[in-house]
Structure 1
Amino acid sequence: MTSNLTDLSLADPQLWQRRDRLEVFAQLRRDHPVSWHEEPKTDWFPEGGRGFWSLVRYDDVVAASKNQELFTSDQGTEIVDMEPEMQHIFGGMLNMTGDEHTRHRSIVNRVLTPRTVERMTDNIRTHARRCILRIADRGSADFMADLVGDFPAQIICELLGVPVADRPRLIELTNTALSGYGTADAYGAVLEIVDYAQTLLRQVGDAPAPDAGFLAKLLAAKIDGQSMSSHEIAVFFALLVTAGIETTTTSIGQGMLALSRYPETRRRWQADYDGLARIAVEEIVRWTSPVMHFRRTATRDVELHGRRIRKGDKVVLWYISANGDESVFPSPERLDFDRGEQQHAGFGGGGPHFCLGAVLARKEITVFFRELFEILPDIDVSGEPVPLVSNFVNGLQSLPVSFTPRNQEEVA
């Protein structure tokens, strides 16, 4: 590597506190499209690891995402190596491939359909307005804690039938699980979520009525006569709440930051919200890259960009770098609604592991910003954002905003 990248490891927690980490990825894309990274012992991973390859260019990340035969998910999608049972609990169907993955995904697709999401629109709008109206008369707020912090969480919890009293603890667990993805603390949080899900499932009947809840429908759904066990559904429950809460929160929060940095782009959207909403949401997800990576494992020796990847080596796909690839997205640092139909890697780069919740995430982002612009049209960032220190979720801890106060009676 060049001198300023010598000894750099993308497994080092200190890297994720650097303000220039996007420049690090830009240099890797230019000079080292396939690079080896050691896994030293750190506070995050006290035992260290055996090291991994990193793919950072868009074309390589997308190609590897689509090629499960060569770059498989069934040995873990976390950077850290785990025992098989831990791997199963932590990732669920993320850590599957082939027929097993197809069966689980097909069953979920029977229940989490675009029609299901569309029927949720009014409920999503209700939660968005509640989150915005509760601070509308203040004039200033923390966008992450006060506006969007529990917005996706409430929607996911209602979908899954989580009682209101249980939701704060579940949200806390998802934050722990994702901020330290792959660590012992994160694994403990996921175990607690799985145990909680099994408690909920014991309350669900075996023969759901037509208006039954999501979990009951999952229990009843079958593909070729096969269904998911309650344990498998509990693991999926953990995956859905972790993926569906923090990542959408991140997209909306980082989206607000992006819109503040590119005010002309924001004005265009506010002037033609419905006309630009679809491409605006996709560009926000690209700009944000809420999930920054997933890992694969090479199933055989392969040479890529002159580097020999051995069978069994870990290969990490950096979506945050793919979405900043200058050869695909000119001036990638800009929020640009004129990029056309170019597919970003924000939902996983395509292939069999494309994000199951993408339809719901798009709906939530679209509805939230529509309500935000209607109720607080001049809301803007008023202070420095505080990033979440994580190598997995590109989140924000805090984002100060200010706006012209409005009383609730005026906008209700």
Structure 2
Amino acid sequence: MHDGMVDFKAETRAQIMGLPIAEVDPAQPRLFAADAFWPIFERLRAEDPVHFTDSATYGPFWSIALWDDIMAVDSNHQVFSSADGIALSTLEAKAENEKRGTRPSFISMDPPRHDEQRKTVSPVVAPSNLQVMGPLIRERAGKILDSLPIGVEFDWVEHVSKDLTAMTLATLFDFPQEDRGLLPYWSDVMTNSPGHGPVESWEQKREVLDQMVGRFVGLWNERVNAPPGGDLISMLAHGQSTRNMERAEYAGNLGLLIIGGNDTTRNTISGSVYALNKHPGEYAKLKADPSLIPSMVSETIRWQTPLTHMMRTATQDFELRGKTIRKGDRVVMWYVSGNRDASAVHDPETYCIDRERPRHHMSFGFGIHRCVGNRLAELQLTIIWEEIMKRFPTIELAGEPTRTHSIFIKGYETLPVVIPTRT
């Protein structure tokens, strides 16, 4: 890490630690982009785990910082509803959404509609289908890894993380593989504010997303008139609870499936290379015993926490740790903080690939909205590392990553690496 970044992190820590607790604001994308946000949650966990912020950028919201409280909110969908969105958005983004109309998806629904729509798409990630997909993912992972340069610096995000997840996502949608690069591109457009990521203005963002929806409406029209198939579009087009969806609802569900199918896996693939390089003792353990790969995958999903938070809206007044959350208040469950809560995770700051309970993390959420594709994410990560270990004695960082400018996606824009040699 270069000296300027070390200085910035040290200055940021000093600033955060010096603030009155009431002024501590977790919703600062620039701190997430600099990986300098951690002291905020250290303070919230210790001093104010149910914390109110009235942000000039995001408006008023509550932050939930401890594991048990996050569980309590996440598993109580009667009081904490997803219907008003699942990510904390800026006031500007909120105004923009109101202008163009919202795009609801099943993750931002409550039962019974949530349950019906989730049930429609869940067969695509059922164990039987994952067994079928496993060999295909392995073949593709092998081809990607075999095409990588040796002894030359390249961007791991672009050449590995994005490509493998785009291939898998294209298969789930039965989307043309030659156009698969559009899927991570659309995901980035959806999850980044204008000026960060691929688009510069709200107008450009609208145009790109309208093109995305137009492309998928074309696929819907093809599949609705064909016999039911095993891909996500066909399942939605023929599903009893989804076949009469409005265009906006279809668009919302597409957004959910593209972001959900892309970001978690893509950023954890990158995060695993980064984490193992930053913890060479753990990398040595993995090389000595490749059977630790599944455990390493789960530990990286905890350590990375690819989605920093989920938001809910209170449907009634509710008391938590002596604070009264009012009906209509937005409540942000910071998974990235819960995964570092020492009361729930032993020695949480340590990256340890042979933990006793590696799957004990909250990166996939809890309750009715628990990530539907969690097993597929684990499968892709396990396979890519099994194939890496067959080919490369080591993958080395060639510099620090560029991180996503977002309080929602905790990810990597670039990760420079060198592979010194093949096995």
* TM band (smaller chain): 0.7 to 0.9
Q: Structure 2 regions of 5+ residues with no counterpart? A: 1-15
| Pairing 1:179–2:192 present | yes
| Residue 57 of structure 1 pairs with residue 66 of structure 2 | yes
Q: Which residue of 2 aligns with 1:292?
A: 308
* Partner residue, 1:195: 214
> Equivalent residues in 2 for 1:12-411 (5 A)?
12-41=28-57, 49-80=58-89, 82=94, 88-89=102-103, 92-180=105-193, 184=202, 189-208=208-227, 213-222=231-240, 227=243, 229=245, 231=247, 232-273=249-290, 275-341=291-357, 343-348=360-365, 350-406=366-422
User: Could you tell me how far apart the structure 2 residues matched to 1:405 and 1:3 are?
Assistant: 48
Aligned length: 394
Cα distance in 2, alignment partners of residues 214 and 20 from structure 1:
38
- Alpha-carbon spacing, 1:251–1:188, altered in 2? closer, same or farther (3 Å): farther
The answer to whether the 8 A contact 2:312-2:332 is kept is yes
Deviation at 1:243, TM superposition (A): 1.6
SS in 1 for 2:275: helix
CA contact 1:291–1:319 (8 Å) conserved in 2: yes
Aligned to 2:343, what secondary structure does the other structure show?
Answer: coil
1:46 alignment counterpart: none
Tell me, in whole angstroms, the C-alpha distance in 2 between the residues paired with 1:304 and 1:383. 43
* Distance verdict in 2 for CA 1:95–1:371, change over 3 Å: same
CA RMSD between the two structures: 2.7
Instruction: Report the secondary structure of 2:394's partner residue.
Output: coil
1:385 and 1:12 mapped to 2: Cα distance? 19
Shift of 1:176: 1.8
CA distance in 2: counterparts of 1:116 and 1:19, whole angstroms = 37
Tell me the TM-score normalized by structure 1.
Answer: 0.87
Residues 61-80 of structure 1 show CA distances to partners (whole Å, capped at 9, x for unaligned) of 11111110111111221213
Of 129-138 and 12-21, the range deviating more from structure 2? 12-21
Q: Deviations over 1:18-37 (max 9, x none)?
A: 44311211111111101111
Deviations 1:373-405 (A, max 9, x none): 211121122322221211111111222222223
Aligned-partner Cα distance in 2 for 1:375–1:7: 50
How far, CA to CA, are the matches of 2:272 and 2:244 in structure 1? Answer: 36
CA distance in 1, matches of 2:107, 2:234: 22
Q: SS in structure 2 opposite 1:131?
A: helix
Greater shift after overlay, 71-80 or 6-15? 6-15
What runs of 5+ residues in structure 1 fail to find an aligned partner? 42-48
Task: Tell me the distance in 2 between the aligned counterparts of 1:206 and 1:304.
Answer: 51
Is the Cα–Cα contact under 8 Å of residues 378 and 404 in structure 1 kept in the other structure? Answer: yes
How far is the alpha carbon of 1:206 from its aligned partner? 3.5
Whole-angstrom distance in 1 between the partners of 2:87 and 2:354: 34
Task: State the Cα deviation string for residues 58-113 of structure 1 (Å, max 9, x = none).
Answer: 11111111110111111221213746796751x51111011010100111123431
Counterparts of 2:100 and 2:308 in 1: how far apart (Å)? 21
Q: What is the match of residue 10 of structure 2?
A: none
Letter in 2 for 1:149: K
Whether the 8 Å contact between 2:22 and 2:53 is mirrored in structure 1 is no
Quote the Cα distance in structure 2 between the aligned partners of 1:383 and 1:110.
Answer: 41
2:154–2:416 contact (8 Å) kept in structure 1: yes
Evaluate the alpha carbon distance shift between residue 37 and residue 133 of structure 1 in structure 2; reply closer, same or farther with a 3 A threshold: same
Identical aligned residues as a percent: 28
Counterpart amino acid of residue 146 in structure 1: H
Task: List per-residue Cα deviations over 1:244-288 (Å, max 9, x = no partner).
Answer: 112211011011111112222222223332x32332221110000
How far, CA to CA, are the matches of 1:212 and 1:54 in structure 2?
40
Q: Is the 8 A contact 1:379 1:402 kept in 2?
A: yes
Q: In 2, Cα distance between the equivalents of 1:244 and 1:180?
A: 20
| Structure 2 residue matching 1:203: 3-state secondary structure | helix
The answer on whether the counterparts of 1:388 and 1:394 sit within 8 Å (CA) in structure 2 is yes
- Distance (Å, rounded) in 2 between the aligned partners of 1:252 and 1:325: 24
